[in-house]
A and B are shown apart, each in its own frame.
Chain A
Amino acid sequence: MQTDGRSVLDETAAVPLDARAVEAAVRLADPASRAIRLNLVLVGQSGVQELVERVATLHPLRAIVVDLDGADAAAHVSAGPRWECIWLSGRPSQLNRVVSTASALLMPGLPTSAYWLQAPDLESTLFSRIVDLADRIVVDSATASDPLGFIFSLDRHAAEKQSVVSFADLSWSRIYGWRLLAARLFDAPADRANLSSVRTLAVEHGGSLPEPLLLAGWFVSRLGWELWQPPRQGSLSRRAPIQLVAHTGARNVTIDIRPAGSGGLLHSLLIDADRTRYRVARENGSVCTMVETNDGQRVADVCSPDREPVDVLVGQLTDQGRDRIYTEAVAALAPLATLNAAR
């Protein structure tokens, strides 16, 4: 049990794993009515309390924690301004009891999102049961042992279930700001023309592969390039450079993905066209752009503050629908599917 999880479990008396008993405990913990807007099912233990309180600043919620690392079936209830937290714990063999209790405790008529604090086993019974409860599934491929395989598998699940549930990968959400800044660099007609003369794309990362791969996939899919399976690339490692080649129809583009330090975050995106170099990079807590022409003249240099990880999650909880741009970015990476991706 993690420290914050222990604070919830230690400070509240256990309640039998029975939906009516839990509801009664919730009313005792917080008898005033609130405008709860969201059911959030959390699978995991670490960071739950902080996460719930942060989500509550935007979405008053009922959080239901599904914890199958418990000693025995029990429930703990706590509440605060704009949030209720129901912690359902049990042994793995008690999955059915825990999940059925969670199902009964979902507030009717409200959207239900589910978030795994660690990447789930997408083929597990638990994953399947939670997907059946939820309208929105949020996961993070950066926490998967095989992130690229996870991404492909997730996309397959999303396609199968798209009529009833939507999926979100936080690795894709985290690069939204990078995509926006990169896209803006090419708004002007002269810059847009440079897209056809791109020679290299270089992405530096802090040791996590999904973000640079998805960013590359996004570029490839948006610009209609075709990624070739690199003949010399035996596996994808977060610790070693990766070199890919994309064909634009007129020329080849080299895509370099390189580790640069630690921290797991993207460090920089460099786009070299014939006459101009475009750069998006993380600097001092901001993400900044720079455009430099071949004669060394800087044309733009503006920054936006980086978003905190929990804010990225909060922003994903109530979106609905399938993100076609994400799906196409993943599809663009298909030639890499046969490679082993070591985390």
Chain B
Amino acid sequence: MSVGLALDNPLREGLQAELAAEPCIIVIFGATGDLTHRKLLPALYNLAVDQRLPIGTAVVGFARRPKSDDEFRADMLQAIQTFTAEPYQSSFAEHFGQGIRYVQSTFDDPAGYERLREVCQEIDRERGTRGNRIFDLATAPSDFPVVLERLGAAGLVDRDGRAENGWTRLIVEKPFGHDLTSARELNDRVGQVFGEDQVYRIDHYLGKETVQNILAFRFANSIFESVWNREHVDNVQISVTETLGVENRGPYYEETGALRDMVANHMLQVLALVAMEPPIELEARAIRDEKVKVLRAIHPLTTAEVSRRTVRGQYGAGAIGGIEAPAYRDEPRVSPDSNTETYVALKVLVDNWRWAGVPFYLRHGKRLPKRSTEVAIQFKKAPELLFRQADAGGLDANLLVLRLQPDEGIALRFGAKVPGPGMHISSVRMDFGFGSAFGRQAADAYERLLLDAIQGDPTLFTRRDETEAQWAFITSILEAWQHLPPPDFPNYPAGTYGPRAANDLLAREGRSWARL
């Protein structure tokens, strides 16, 4: 979804259609953390290998742990070697590593930010980064306010983006707040230092090729748009199922839960892409405007509505793939009487002309039988009058499934006549797999997102009004749950598809979950 910007460089003409990006310095706050090792540096390395990273781009880690430049550089090269999908070439990596520096400081120390300024100016002179900066908040959300305040106080942010000073951007990793109030507060704090057009809020789902393919599928194929509405669609199901438990993230998950962890951001973004109107152009503002319209059409729920339309669950002991799994309450660093939900299912209504009356069912859970992320569009059944006398056995509704991970692809279920006497109709499945068709391993989402941030394309990042609209809906559920009777947890064994109530959510409307 990047749109090429013409650079006034005659040699650029005819080269790969890309935003011609200027080199920059990426300052990573919390650079000794897991995200930097597993995602950020490998992604930057992969971009460099693909010749997509602007020449001269540098990385400065800013963190509390005492390290020298050489020690941090060695750490990062080791992380790249461990986590990169590209073949690791030591000579090339050495060259890449020459652009890595480190500033050791606490986040509240003004002297640290002065040192950061000095280092950045050195890099500008050595590598031609021309004052361009990306500040990446890859640290705990509790650190965001102090980092923002110090960046502003140190004058490291040119809010007006004057060309002679270079450009400045901010990347904020999720979670962006934990409810509507905190999200607004964080947005306000960010807004005191950065202009909205400088802010890039990451939802890494949007960086996935398969999520981006939702728009390509909808709008590159004329046959689908005419049936993509309440006249033809019976319901839409968005499922994100995981086999894993909370692993060693117990303390984080206790404060978060399934609704905040997955529904508040990723799943609502996917819903927005499925439900949005065609944008007037494939450009950031136009696309995000349409997504916000969808999110605003999802009204906050009353307590009674939450009671009827949401289901919470928490896994008990069970087995997955033949391997025993403990109950959530028995996981490390989880309270033995925790009421944190590890499963959520809900019915969402998008109150607009296209989708009025069409339920969007969302479900997400941990310790389910298989890992899967998919969107299933169930169409209204064809009239059966033609097949009643022929003992057709009932017609299944057509089902279009967009599989986002794993085994990315698209499947369509339709009815076909069974060979032989009589008119027996059986459902068959037409399947297209991206992996078998394109062969190429999709780039990690962070490669796409970091490159877009460097190129100044915010399409795949969430805007302030998007995040607040999402939180408005989610917060209404969170608040209602506070007033509803506590759930009787655990209520589904690990290795099953969640609590019975999740099936009842659809069954009482004559529907059922699509088989994963």
Contacts and interface: CB of A to CB of B under 8 A. Distances in A.
Interface of A: 34-35, 37, 56-60, 82, 176-177, 179-188, 192, 195, 219, 222-224, 284-286, 288-289, 291, 298-305, 323-325
Contacts of A58: 438-440
B51 interface: yes
Given A58-B439, A181-B55, A223-B11, 17 more contacts: A34-B436, A35-B437, A82-B439, A177-B51, A180-B15, A184-B54, A185-B55, A188-B22, A192-B9, A285-B92, A299-B127, A300-B55, A300-B127, A301-B98, A302-B95, A305-B89, A323-B14
Contacts of B55: 181, 184-185, 289, 300, 302
A56 B439 contact: yes
Interface string B26-62: 0000000000000000000000110100111000000
B391 interface: no
Q: Size range of the interface on B?
A: 35 or more
Interface string B100-130: 0000000000000000000000000011101
Interface string B418-459: 000000000000001100111110000000000000000000
A222 B14 CA distance: 10
* Majority SS at the chain B contact face: loop
B13 interface: yes
22 contacts: A60-B436, A60-B437, A60-B439, A82-B436, A179-B11, A180-B16, A181-B51, A181-B55, A182-B11, A185-B55, A192-B8, A195-B10, A219-B11, A223-B11, A285-B92, A299-B126, A300-B23, A300-B56, A304-B48, A304-B49, A304-B51, A305-B92
B20 interface: yes
Contacts of A179: 11, 15
Nearest to B86: A305
Contacts of B222: none
B12 interface: yes
A186 B128 CA distance: 12
A69 B98 CA distance: 53
A192 B23 CA distance: 15
Most B CB contacts (10 A, CB to CB) among A37, A181, A300 go to A300
A186 B95 contact: no
Contacts of B74: none
A183 B92 contact: no
B91 interface: yes
Contact of B433 (A35, A182, A224): A35
Most B CB contacts (10 A, CB to CB) among A82, A182, A187, A188 go to A187
B58 to A, nearest CB: 10
Contacts of B95: 286, 288, 301-303
B257 to A, nearest CB: 40
Interchain residue pairs A-B with the least CB separation, the first 4: A325-B14, A183-B11, A303-B95, A302-B55
* Majority SS at the chain A contact face: mixed
Nearest to B89: A305
B433 A180 contact: no
A187 B91 contact: no
B416 interface: no
B439 A186 contact: no
Contacts of B126: 298-299
Nearest to B10: A222
B153 interface: no
Contact of B14 (A177, A182, A303, A324): A324
Contacts of A82: 436, 439
B51 A180 contact: yes
Nearest to B437: A35
B461 to A, nearest CB: 24
A181 B52 CA distance: 10
B7 interface: yes
A324 B13 CA distance: 10
Interface string B50-82: 010011100000000000000000000000000
Contacts of A219: 11
Contacts of A303: 92, 95-96
Nearest to A224: B10
A8 to B, nearest CB: 22
Contacts of B432: 35
Contacts of A35: 432-433, 436-437
Contacts of B20: 187
A224 B11 CA distance: 11
A34 B436 CA distance: 8
B89 A188 contact: no
B30 to A, nearest CB: 26
Contact of A300 (B48, B128, B437): B128
A325 B439 contact: no
A222 B437 contact: no
Given A58-B438, A60-B437, A188 B14 contact: no
Nearest to B56: A300
Contact of B437 (A37, A176, A187, A195): A37
Nearest to B18: A180
B264 to A, nearest CB: 36
A301 B97 CA distance: 12
A23 B14 CA distance: 41
A284 B94 CA distance: 12
Contacts of B437: 35, 37, 60
Contacts of A223: 10-11
B11 A222 contact: yes
A77 B436 CA distance: 22
Contacts of B89: 285-286, 305
A325 to B, nearest CB: 3
Given A179-B15, A187-B9, A300-B128, A284 B51 contact: no
B92 A286 contact: yes
A222 B56 CA distance: 24
